[in-house]
Amino acid sequence: MEMLESVLLQISRWTQPYYPEIALSMVATMLVIYGDVLNKHLKRFVSSYHFILRTIIFVLVCAFGYGLLTVYAAPFVKQLILMIPHLYRGISIVAVFLLLGYLAEHRRYI
């Protein structure tokens, strides 16, 4: 049991300096996996507008909307990571990335 705790703590220590980057990569990966769903809803919402207006909205949402979402969601995800007890933090990060890999595989992105 003591060896397992030691391994879990070591994984948590290895990931500790990289929490902002880890949170950013989690948000970016979620946007890659589910961005097409958001785009489909946006397309349905603006389909009745003129072509030029639809194009401008699409560019604004893709260029600025997703960027703002990434910038503002990453600190929130970092705070969620920090809420996990230190002993389980590293293995939880590994588990989340495995889950994201599974979701990407499930949606045929891998």
Q: Pick the closest to residue 97 from 18, 23, 3 (CA basis).
A: 23
**Phi–psi pair at 84, nearest 5 degrees:** -75, 135
* Residues spanned by the domain of 87: 2-106
| 39 burial level (CB within 10 Å; 0-12, 13-18, 19+) | middle
**Structurally, how many domains does the chain consist of?**
1
pLDDT at 110 over 80: no
CA-CA distance, 37 to 50, in Å (whole number)? 22
pLDDT tens sequence across 34-43: 988 988 998 8
pLDDT tens sequence across 62-106: 889 899 999 999 999 999 999 999 999 999 999 999 999 999 999
CA-CA distance, 3 to 6, in Å (whole number)? 5
Contacts of residue 96, defined as CB under 8 A and 6 or more positions apart, other chains included, come to 26
pLDDT interval class at 108 (50, 70, 90) = confident
pLDDT at 109 over 80: no
Please give the span between the terminal C-alpha atoms of the chain, in angstroms, as a whole number. Answer: 36
